[in-house]
Amino acid sequence: MVRSEHRILVVDNESLVVEELVEFLTNQGYSCAGSVGPQDALTFFISNPDIDIVLSDFKMPGMTGVQLVEAMRAQAGPGRIFEVIIFTGNAEKDDVIEALRAGVADYYQKPLNLNQLLSGIACVSAKLERREAESRIKMLSHNLKLLSSSLSEICSGIDMTHAEQAPSGIVTRSPEAESAENLLLSEKLSPRQREVAGLIAQGLTNYQIACDLGISENTVKIYVSQVLRIFNLTNRTQLALALEGAKDGVKTVRTNVR
């Protein structure tokens, strides 16, 4: 008996077919649920994000199996990974072509050969595991790039700070910090620009800012570029340092050091 971490949704417009398939697959060790009709299946799929294998009849009232798959993909979003197997009692060449073009993993003729179906589910499960592993690798690579970018900006900011320090021990505020302070006090930033600038000052990445504000990462990049241009700065680390200085207030400048 197979013990699978994948969860299957069986969809057919005939309740008896759904019941028999769910019982069979459950006895084979699969976690399985059933829906009678495409609308119930779509609702169940949306509310159960752990469903990652869908077995669906092709010809159903109101919606074909391929249309159901397309609706599921539209609702699932880019981050959800799942695979689909289609079966039908009246397989026609055009139906097969339509299903394959829609990206279904496999296609079976009714009455189903259950041994073939089990083999197909095993292949689909292996495919899912490969896709999930690739997704994890891509996410790890993305996070590493963000970390590398942040470290580069921090190092660049440290170098700029050291270069701007007075050699005789004179403590001064940079023109950029003064500019940042003046702009904040005069409220020349829009509310959204001020939000983005504040989150940059907290050390958040573009991705984290996008999640926090509920906007896209590309939109965040646009706001960051606008704020940097307004402050006449070259990178976000300089901006964070300038905002920190503005927040602390004007400090006394020592100009006479013996």
Q: How far apart, in whole angstroms, are the C-alpha atoms of residue 2 and residue 134? A: 24
| Assigned superfamily of 7-135 | Response regulator (3.40.50.2300)
High-pLDDT (> 90) share of the chain, % = 27
What's the average model confidence in pLDDT over 41-60? 93
| Strongest mean pLDDT among 69-78, 113-122, 236-245 | 113-122
Options 3.30.450.20, 3.10.129.10, 1.10.3080.10, 1.10.10.10; which CATH number does 165-248 get? Answer: 1.10.10.10
Q: Where in the chain is the domain with CATH 1.10.10.10?
A: 165-248
3-state SS assignment for residue 145: helix
| 10 bridge partner residues | 34, 55
Q: What is the mean pLDDT of residues 81-109?
A: 80
Q: What percent of the chain has pLDDT over 70?
A: 79
pTM exceeds cut of 0.85: no
Question: What pLDDT score does 155 carry?
Answer: 73
pLDDT in tens, 99-139: 777 778 888 888 889 999 999 899 888 888 887 777 778 77
d(CA 106, CA 91): 13
Q: How confident is the model at residue 14, as a pLDDT?
A: 93
CATH 3.40.50.2300, the chain: domain bounds: 7-135
Closest alpha carbon to 85 in 50, 114, 62, 61: 114
Maximum separation of any 2 CA atoms in the chain, in Å: 97
List, as own/partner pairs, every contact residues 101-107 make where C-beta atoms lie below 8 angstroms and the sequence separation is at least 24, other chains included: 102/66, 102/69, 102/70, 103/69, 104/65, 104/66, 104/69
